[in-house]
Amino acid sequence: VYKTNLLVKMLCLVANKAATLDPSGIGMDMEANKPGWYDSLNGLPGLLGSSIAETLELKRLALFMLDTFDQLSVNGSEPVLIFEELALFIEELKGILDEKIDALDYWKKSNTAKEEYREKVRLGICGVEREMALCDVRRFLEAIVRKVNAGLQKAKGPDGLFPTYYYYKVTKYEAVDGVPPSKEGPRVRPLLFERHEMPLFLEGFVHGLRCEKDSVLARGLHEKVRKSPLYDRALGMYKLNADITSETEEVGRTRVFPRGWLENESIWLHMEYKYILELLRRGLYEEFYAALSTCCVAFMPPKRYGRSILENSSFLVSSAHHDQELHGQGFVARLSGSTAEFIHIWMVMNAGLSPFVMKGKNEVELALRPALKAEFFTKEASRPEVVRDGKAFSVALAANTYAFMFMGRTLVVYHNSKRKDTFGAKGAKAVRTELVYAGTKKAHVVSGATIPCAQARDVRDGKVERIDIYLE
């Protein structure tokens, strides 16, 4: 058993992914014979398929590690111990990344390095570790980001949009000397490829937004998506993919469904919720709420939806479907991935992206930063029923408030007397916070929005029964 740290584990993942870019340096090869999230493209791996979604996740992983180095202010000369086989693999990849070669040559060399690495570790590792300076690790990650960015730039069309999926045809090859033919035929080495770009899929833009830290660029990408065939103007929703009727049925089972139905050009709720979650995470609040009003099941016309708006569906029929009476109707009600995305959206709306933040290296503060529209606050006083530890009880709420249960134990009440949005430059900000501990009535008062370390720990431990935050 070999034990190491999280950094080495992530480097192992990054190195393998960086050596799996497709022959154009755009997508990531489907070498595991699976297409990724969009599993109805189950024929694509057999066509030498690749996906830009995984490439973008490689970039996000590298950027996360680089950001962490900056946050920790680590010294560039500090060493990290890496098992020998991975250290050699990274060193070889660094050299290949530094070479000024085209995408096809990179594909050949990086795959050779990866196959040699995997052959070495197939039955285990030798156990010897090597030191690698963190400055060298940083340069390796920065080179990967540059490589991915170059591929992404190549993928963009004149409209600034990019395909999510590709597949390749080998147009030139040579026989591999000394290798006998298998029952499938002779062994060959590909020399040239022809790339085929699939129509647009929403998945790629979810990952694109996830990697884009600049809100201005993120807004620009979103506006392009809204102008694309992925936006269903009749429903105000986002389709899973654009028209793929021109594609061969070899790409997978998605081609057997009629347009707008099930896994072909429908409103696949899980992916659509992923998309609007990224709008929220990127700080595009107006765009997020505009999308929420038409994309969230809770706000849909029940008659059109065809079932209770308190339950999600697997998919909704889009306006691409030939039967107009089915447009916007939900099918296959279940606890699908859309539920997980909805809970994530709910958490960010109520508590912010990172409610708990580090102070120094050993302490944690709590700062709730909601992103709520003004109309979400009550207009009258009320006594709603809430549940804690399986027990229901009523609470008194004044007018102009919004309440939710934080971490399942603590009732948080926002007081917004001026009824303003809680986001944006002119949004309402916290001026006072009051914490009430279980079994007591006296409130602990904190100035502003940040709850200090000791009280933040109490909230995490479930000792705080209620938090009232006053906004102005």
> Is the per-residue pLDDT at 361 higher than 80?
no
Q: What are phi and psi of 387, to 5 degrees?
A: -125, 130
Per-residue model confidence as pLDDT tens digits over 269-286: 999 999 999 999 999 999
Q: What is the mean pLDDT of residues 182-189?
A: 83
> Is the per-residue pLDDT at 414 higher than 80?
yes
* Residue 201 structure tokens: 């899929």
333 — pLDDT class (breaks 50, 70, 90): confident
Short-list 423, 420, 448, 422, CA closest to 434: 448
The DSSP H or E segment spanning 404 is strand 401-406
> Rounded to whole angstroms, how far apart are CA atoms 255 and 32?
22
What is the pLDDT, as a whole number, of residue 179? 76
Buried b / exposed e along 245-280 (16+ C-beta atoms within 10 A): eebeeebbebbebebbbbbbbbbbbbbbbbbbbbbb
How confident is the prediction for the chain on average, in pLDDT? 95
What is the pLDDT, as a whole number, of residue 398? 96
* Residue 437 structure tokens: 């501990």
In sequence order, the 6+-apart residues with CB closer than 8 A to the CB of 454 are none
* Residue 449 structure tokens: 């929005």
> Rounded to whole angstroms, how far apart are CA atoms 203 and 261?
17
What is the pLDDT, as a whole number, of residue 360? 76
Per-residue model confidence as pLDDT tens digits over 73-97: 877 888 999 999 999 999 999 999 9
Q: What are phi and psi of 252, to 5 degrees?
A: 145, 180
What is the pLDDT, as a whole number, of residue 181? 76
What is the pLDDT, as a whole number, of residue 186? 83
Per-residue model confidence as pLDDT tens digits over 197-206: 999 999 999 9
Q: What are phi and psi of 33, to 5 degrees?
A: 65, 20
Tell me 262's DSSP state.
Answer: T
What's CA 185's distance to the chain center, in Å?
A: 41
> Rounded to whole angstroms, how far apart are CA atoms 55 and 201?
15
Q: What is the mean pLDDT of residues 132-150?
A: 96
180 — pLDDT class (breaks 50, 70, 90): confident
Are the C-beta atoms of 44 and 36 separated by less than 8 Å?
A: no
Q: Which one is predicted more confidently, 442 or 266?
A: 266
> Rounded to whole angstroms, how far apart are CA atoms 324 and 275?
25
What is the pLDDT, as a whole number, of residue 436? 96
Per-residue model confidence as pLDDT tens digits over 399-413: 999 999 999 999 999
Are the C-beta atoms of 285 and 313 separated by less than 8 Å?
A: no
Are the C-beta atoms of 255 and 244 separated by less than 8 Å?
A: yes
Q: What are phi and psi of 342, to 5 degrees?
A: -65, -40
What is the pLDDT, as a whole number, of residue 441? 84
Mapped onto helix, strand or coil, the DSSP state of residue 231 is: strand
What is the pLDDT, as a whole number, of residue 193? 97
380 — pLDDT class (breaks 50, 70, 90): very high
The DSSP H or E segment spanning 437 is strand 430-437
Lowest average pLDDT, out of 76-90, 177-191, 242-256, goes to 177-191
39 — pLDDT class (breaks 50, 70, 90): very high
pTM of the model: 0.94
Are the C-beta atoms of 446 and 367 separated by less than 8 Å?
A: no
What's CA 223's distance to the chain center, in Å?
A: 19
> Is the per-residue pLDDT at 185 higher than 90?
no
What is the pLDDT, as a whole number, of residue 31? 94
